[in-house]
């Protein structure tokens, strides 16, 4: 039953408008001039500092300049009060994708101009996997390797004309309820059609940075650094 105090509904229209928003990324100092860049994208509900801790766990990355990019959309972890982030939601998805790609492109452009790296590698975890794929496919700076863990190939990359992709390492835990065996199979089929050079590591575990994945990522980075 309608409330007689409320008048009839009027039509509405949704208006979107570009707005400036502050982005941030964490750059580890101490690498030599020209050191290769390892640029990472965190998962949902994490932040750049947390992701940098994960990057540091990958053996053999000390010679790299490790960088963790913070998602633009910040919120509080209600349990800890920590400020964390999300890359996007389904609302205004296409514009959010474009905004994120432009943001990451600006970050990478600044890093390349400042540090002149030998190699550039992206690494994404969980929700950050989609951004790692988009960066590898769409950011102008030449990319030499892509490592993804626990997340799938986004449809806006898979459905585009086949992108020119660098060598790729895909990691998945056998008990990962998010990045399932079926999703991985679908991704491998799409990447096969695109002619991508793909390696995989499937490990005992779930949605996590398992030791087997860290070892595989380390070996992959060694090959990329050596130009193989």
Dist CA 165 CA 86 (whole Å):
25
Phi, psi of 116 (to 5 degrees): 45, 65
Average pLDDT in the 107-121 region? 97
Percent of the chain exceeding pLDDT 90 equals 85
Q: What is the mean pLDDT of the chain?
A: 94
Residue 213's pLDDT band (cuts 50, 70, 90)? very high
Provide the whole-model pTM.
Answer: 0.93
For residue 1, is pLDDT > 70?
no
- pLDDT at position 5, please? 76
Average pLDDT score over residue span 124-145: 96
In this prediction, residues 82-98 reach a mean pLDDT of 93
Does the pLDDT at position 7 exceed 80?
A: no
For the chain, the structural domain boundaries read 28-225
pLDDT tens digit string along 178-194? 999 999 999 999 999 88
Residue 121 reports pLDDT greater than 90? yes
What CA–CA distance (Å, rounded) separates 134 from 31? 26
DSSP string of 21-67?
----EEE---PPTTPPEEEEE--TTB-HHHHHHHHHHSTT-TTSEEE
Q: Distances in Å between the alpha carbon of 77 and those of 37, 82, 195?
A: 29, 5, 41
Give the pLDDT confidence of 33-71 residue by residue, as tens digits. Answer: 999 999 999 999 999 999 999 999 999 999 999 999 999
What is the distance between the alpha carbons of residues 64 and 85, in angstroms, rounded to a whole number?
A: 25
CATH architecture assignment, domain 28-225: 3-Layer(aba) Sandwich (3.40)
| pLDDT for 2 | 64
- Name the helix (H) or strand (E) containing 84: strand 83-86
Q: How far apart are CA 169 and CA 201, in angstroms?
A: 8
């Amino acid at each position: 039953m309608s409330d007689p105090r409320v008048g009839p509904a009027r039509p509405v229209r949704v208006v979107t408008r570009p707005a400036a928003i502050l982005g941030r990324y964490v750059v580890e100092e101490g690498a030599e001039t020209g050191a290769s860049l390892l640029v990472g994208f965190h998962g949902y509900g994490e932040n750049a500092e947390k992701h940098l801790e994960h990057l540091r766990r990958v053996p053999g990355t000390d010679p790299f300049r490790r960088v963790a990019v913070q998602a633009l959309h910040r919120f509080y972890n209600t349990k800890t009060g920590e400020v964390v982030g999300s890359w996007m939601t389904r609302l205004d998805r296409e514009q959010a994708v474009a905004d994120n790609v432009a943001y990451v492109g600006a970050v990478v452009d600044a890093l390349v101009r400042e540090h002149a790296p030998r190699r550039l590698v992206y690494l994404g975890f969980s929700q950050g996997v989609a951004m790692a794929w988009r960066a590898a496919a769409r950011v102008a700076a030449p990319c030499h390797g892509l490592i993804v863990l626990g997340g799938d190939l986004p449809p806006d990359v898979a459905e585009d004309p086949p992108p020119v992709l660098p060598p790729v390492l895909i990691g998945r835990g056998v008990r990962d309820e998010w990045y399932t065996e079926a999703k991985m199979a679908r991704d491998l089929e799409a990447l096969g059609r695109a002619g991508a050079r793909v390696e995989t590591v499937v490990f005992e575990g779930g949605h996590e940075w398992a030791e087997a994945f860290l070892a595989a990522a380390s070996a992959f980075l060694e090959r990329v650094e050596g130009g193989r």
